[in-house]
Amino acid sequence: MAIFSRLSGRQAKDEAAIEAAVLRSDRFRQEREGDWKRLEAIVTRMEKGRLRRISDADVLELPVLYRTVASSLSVARETSLDAATLAYLESLVQRAWFLVYGPRTTLWSWLARFFGGEWSGAVRSIWPELLVAFVLMAAGTVIGWKLCAADPDWYYAMMPIDSGDLRMPGASHDVLKGTLFGNQDQNGLGVFAAGLFSHNAGIAILCFALGFAFGVPPLLMLIQNTTMLGAILWLYHGQGLTLDAVGWLSIHGTTELFAILISGAAGLHIGRSMAFPGTRSVLEAAAAAGQRTATVMAGVVLMLVIAGMLEGLGRQLIDDTPARLAVGYGMLAFWLAYFFLFRRTPAGSESE
Amino acid sequence: MSDAAAKLKRGDLRRVLVTPEGIALPVTLASRGTRFGALLIDLGIIFLTIIITTIALAYIASKLLADSPLKFGKGGTNLPPVVQFALILYIAFLFLLRHAYFLFFELGPRGATPGKRMTGIRVAARDGGRLTTEMVLARNLLRDVEITLPLVALFSLSGGGLADWLVFGWLAVFALFPMFNRDRLRAGDLVAGSWVVEARRLKLADALSTGKAAASGTSETTGASYKFGDEELAIYGEYELQTLERVLRDGRPEAMAAVHEAICRKLGWNPGSGDERAFLEAYYTQLRGRLEGGMRMGKRKADKHG
């Protein structure tokens, strides 16, 4: 019998104990207890986080033992009434399940998949929302411009003006030009860039997170932020500095506004999935959308790091409009090409 | 799942996950209090780290800058490159601490932040499948709306008008989200498809039915032999068996005596005293043997009425 061949390697004492056990379920337990204890030891070591101290053999054995113990649990549920053993097995299978089905990727393999196609794929998958966000941002810009053109007081309503800020209606050509050029001697640009990034990334994450409220807040945030853009363009247009202002904004703005556009679209995507879940339940739809857009958002944070560096360093160091435009639209071309032309599904993808 | 869920009473935290192998795994959801406690511990760790680093850096900076007058003004600050570099690192560090602390720990093998570990809970996928990186990212991206924003709104309430109250009320919906659903999901969990469950660790208890008295029905103290007939075992079911197991494991003499007396009365035996444990172990083993034998034949007896 299989039982005896399993037992042959064990100690005589165990055998005697198994013989002595009256109940079949106790014999079942005694035969398998070794496997359970071994799985428990491996799981306990892994939970302590000392991954380096766990031997390769243990790592290979974990899924095998997990399935063995899981089948022990199924059998025990049908044959044993020992509540303590059942509770132990349930907790052990659960702990092993956490490890076997836990987040298993290393940072590097995740990054490789992320850059190797998952990011661009995730961005492409929300293209309807990207279009909506783009239309909204364009509309916001036009509205900002038109409102200021109709009544300059609107400028003050839209722009938070610090004391000492020279950019306001009525400022002369030279004053405005001074705000666009000639800042390359500034010290502390790196700090400025880091601060900008931290601020912008916070806003982008917020924009995404608020999408949860059925997508309305990201819409408003997109419009509100771009009315400011329209107002600034109007201001510089009035003094014949449109192209210079566009260059000043574009060098980082193409990356930054694109990132904000994407995060708004991601928020919108969640909101849309919840408002119109289709055949799935609202919870399932929200979860699917959330996981898809999480990848998008990780990318947005990265884009904002780059935008922060371009704004803090590039804009101050590159001091003429053609070069600024070249950098800005070069970046835009790069992003567009990466997102929409780079179609590749990385191997070992975790998500569906 | 929804059928099973519909039967659950309000406030019952037990759920059943089905693993990819098709094994139903009971889990207990973490209670709101536990999760709040875990969050407080984590926030405490974050704040302490910020305070300690800030003080340390400020101290170092004050030493470095002791002889160079600080000039803050429009167009940047006039700082030595070393301090500038440190400042950049500091800003990046604060950002990471705020947004990556939870990510880092929840993506690790333990699937839990230090606060969660201390309170014995962890994150799991709601569908029983793998907890993916995307889930952990998604559930943590929403933390801002759930914690930071409501707090900011709360502090700006003093002397605020109707609009402030409206904003706060709206944000409070996010903060209090776990209060309004059966699975204790916070907004991040909902979007990520995750939930937070208790991570129990149980030791394998000794088998009760393999001791001498249990196995042979013979008491070691008195030498009395306990053998129960089929009718004598047929009066109880699985529920009583499990109660008996609990009593035996707790091992409190008063409880054992009471149960001993109750069983004897039911059997029509004259309850003696002094040998309760051996009697109960023998009865437990033989009752379990009978009930398990029935299980194998597909007959289950839930309790004494069954």
Distance from CA of B28 to the nearest CA of A (A): 11
**Which residue type is seen at B35?**
R
CB pairs under 8 A between A and B: 236
Q: Over the stretch A159-199, which tens digit does the pLDDT of each residue have?
A: 766 656 667 777 777 777 777 776 655 555 666 667 667 77
- Residues B163, B32 share a domain: yes
- Residues B226, B181 share a domain: no
For residue A162, what pLDDT is reported?
61
Q: Is A30 exposed, middle or buried (0-12, 13-18, 19+ CB in 10 A)?
A: buried
Buried b (16+ CB within 10 A) or exposed e, B195-228: bbbbbbebebeebbbbbebbbbbbbeeeeeebeb
- Residue B157 falls inside a structural domain: yes
- Residue B248 falls inside a structural domain: yes
- Residue B305 falls inside a structural domain: no
Interface list for A 39-78 with B (CB within 8 A): 40, 46-47, 49, 51, 67, 70, 73-74, 78
CB contact under 8 A, B210 and A20: yes
CB contact under 8 A, A191 and B79: yes
Interface list for B 182-211 with A (CB within 8 A): 187, 190-193, 199-205, 207-210
- Residue B306 falls inside a structural domain: no
Chain B residues close to A98, C-beta within 8 Å? 111, 122, 124, 199
- Residues B169, B100 share a domain: yes
Q: Over the stretch A59-97, which tens digit does the pLDDT of each residue have?
A: 788 888 988 888 888 888 888 888 888 888 888 988 888
Boundary (domain end) residue, out of B180, B198, B216: B198
**Which residue type is seen at B47?**
F
Interface list for A 127-166 with B (CB within 8 A): 164
- Residues B143, B36 share a domain: yes
A53-57, A282-286, B74-78, B181-185: segment of lowest average pLDDT: B74-78
- Residues B171, B269 share a domain: no
For residue B62, what pLDDT is reported?
78
CA angle, residues B260, B261, B264, in degrees to nearest 5: 85
pLDDT interval class at A117 (50, 70, 90): confident
pTM of the predicted model as reported, rounded to 2 decimal places: 0.74
For residue A76, what pLDDT is reported?
85
- Residues B180, B107 share a domain: yes
Domain coordinates in residue numbering, chain A: 10-100, 107-340
Cross-chain CB nearest to A83 (options B109, B128, B245): B245
Chain A residues close to B186, C-beta within 8 Å? none
For residue A333, what pLDDT is reported?
92
- Residues B159, B89 share a domain: yes
In the predicted model, what is the mean pLDDT of residues B85-100? Answer: 81
Distance from CA of B142 to the nearest CA of A (A): 5
Boundary (domain end) residue, out of B145, B164, B198: B198
Q: Could you give the number of structural domains in chain B?
A: 2
Distance, in Å, from the CA atom of B243 to the CA atom of B228, rounded to the nearest integer, reads 19
Instruction: Give the structural domain span for B216.
Output: 208-296
pLDDT interval class at B302 (50, 70, 90): confident
- Residues B235, B181 share a domain: no
- Residue B228 falls inside a structural domain: yes
Confidence check: pLDDT of B76 > 60? no
CB contact under 8 A, A101 and B125: yes
